[in-house]
Amino acid sequence: MKAFFVAGTGTDLGKTHVGCALLEAARARGLSADAFKPVVSGFDPEAPETSDPARLAAALGRPNAWSEVSPRRYRAPLAPNLAARLEGDVLRMDDLVGDCRAWLAGRNVDLALVEGAGGVMSPMTDDATNLDLMSALALPVLLVAGSYLGTASHLLTALEVVRARRLTVATIVVSESLDAPDLDQTVEMLRAFERQAPIVVAPRKGWDASELANVLLS
Ligand SMILES: Nc1ncnc2c1ncn2[C@@H]1O[C@H](COP(=O)(O)OP(=O)(O)OP(=O)(O)O)[C@@H](O)[C@H]1O
Ligand SMILES: C[C@H](N)[C@H](N)CCCCCC(=O)O
Ligand SMILES: [Mg+2]
């Protein structure tokens, strides 16, 4: 089994988009796959279909499996700890780590993805961030960045802190943002500063994850 933690340099940049495309590409080449998002905020129980867990479940070919993909679901579109508090819950990192470790131990698939919530240093609990969860799991990281003006600092900062925890960045995906500068020019700039991990580019139109699957799965 190949397992990756799908992290972002921020929120709303393409973690789920890229994760779903990778799951579909893996399945298209006959591989088995599964996905887990330990906590989701901004989840509308009356309209689950647009949520991260529903999108991941659909990419797995199991559209009704969203509650298994994300067992902890909160309504408010806020950091998970804040969204949970509004519903009377207190999230604890030990519990989130335990959920992920149990889920990983129970997987018998070729590809397993764990998606965080927000960006690398986004809080997941009142005293711990995505990075703390990533450190505990020690999975290779699939790091998703946008292509907006400012992404270079966000990406290079994320790379610094992830590597400072001795985590491996398996691949970086630059997922094209809306209203962003020229994509090729942005990626060329990023490649001048990041020489270790491969950088895969995900344009908004006509992208499938076959190149990403080749990099990660072959
Ligand atoms: N390369 C892309 N092409 C087309 N749409 C994209 C691309 N990247 C992101 N999007 C769109 O941008 C929106 C945000 O992406 P996504 O939901 O994957 O973000 P996220 O990083 O998973 O956010 P969160 O932190 O909430 O989990 C979605 O509507 C997604 O479809
Ligand atoms: C609701 C949103 N789409 C994400 N799921 C949560 C983003 C939390 C961001 C916290 C922060 O970094 O300020
Ligand atoms: Mg997401």
Average pLDDT, stretch 153-162?
98
pTM for this one? 0.98
Q: How confident is the model at residue 216 (pLDDT cuts 50, 70, 90)?
A: very high
In the predicted structure, residue 49 carries a pLDDT above the cut 90:
yes
Distance 118 CA to ligand 2 centre (A): 4
- The number of folded domains in the chain is 1
Answer whether 56 contacts ligand 1 (Cβ < 6 A): no
CA distance 85 to 91: 8
Q: Is there an atom of ligand 2 within 6 Å of 12 CB?
A: yes
> Cβ(194) to ligand 1 under 6 A?
no
pLDDT at 88 over 90: yes
Instruction: Please state, for a pLDDT cut of 70, what percent of the chain lies above it.
Output: 100
* Rounded-to-integer distance, Cα 91 and Cα 208, Å: 35
Which residues are annotated binding-site positions for substrate?
41
168 C-alpha vs ligand 3 centroid, how far in Å? 21
Residues ≥6 apart with Cβ < 8 Å to 93: 124, 125, 127, 128, 132, 133, 136
What is the rounded average pLDDT for all residues in the chain?
98
Note down the domain range covering 74.
2-217
pLDDT for residue 218: 85
Question: Which residues are known binding-site members for ATP?
Answer: 12-17, 52, 115-118, 175-176
Write the pLDDT tens digit of every residue in 98-152. Answer: 999 999 999 999 999 999 999 999 999 999 999 999 999 999 999 999 999 999 9
Span 49-67, mean pLDDT? 97
Cα(94)–Cα(213) distance, rounded to whole angstroms?
31
Catalytically annotated residues: 37
Tell me, what's the ipTM?
Answer: 0.99
Instruction: Read off the CATH number of the domain in which 86 is found.
Output: 3.40.50.300
Sheet holding 33-36, edge to edge: 33-36, 111-115, 2-8, 141-145, 169-175, 199-202
